[in-house]
Amino acid sequence: MEPTHKLDVLGHYCPVPVNQARNALQKLKPGEILLVVADDPETTHDIPLLVNRMGHNLLVTLEDSGEFHYTIEVKQ
């Protein structure tokens, strides 16, 4: 699935990436897809927890050259 929105939080560290991802997800409609791009290794733990707590679907998690890409489908 192609992302409909992108959130670039490169260069930001905890708790900024998770807070910005939460804010972005709250503004999206069901069915929309958010791509979060981060370089904070803590996001590998924090983003999946956030997505689970919010009831959304984490479709893909990729690491590429120190960057972490999270593709999230908004539910409800």
Q: What is the pLDDT of residues 6-29, one digit of tens each?
A: 999 999 999 999 999 999 999 999
- pLDDT value of residue 16: 97
Query: Which secondary structure element, helix H or strand E, spans residue 23, and what is its range?
Result: helix 16-27
Residue 9 three-state SS: coil
Please say if the pLDDT value at position 70 is more than 90.
Answer: yes
Query: Which secondary structure element, helix H or strand E, spans residue 43, and what is its range?
Result: helix 43-54
Please say if the pLDDT value at position 76 is more than 80.
Answer: no
The pair of structure tokens assigned to 13 is: 């560290």
* Residue 39 annotated to the active site: no
Q: Domain 5-73, what fold?
A: Translation Initiation Factor IF3 (3.30.110)
- Its sign, for the CA torsion 3, 7, 13, 15, is negative
Catalytic residue among 3, 4, 5, 14: 14
**pLDDT-based confidence at 2, cuts 50/70/90?**
very high
Domain spans in the chain, listed from the N-terminal domain onward? 5-73
27-60 residue pLDDT tens: 999 999 999 999 999 999 999 999 999 999 999 9
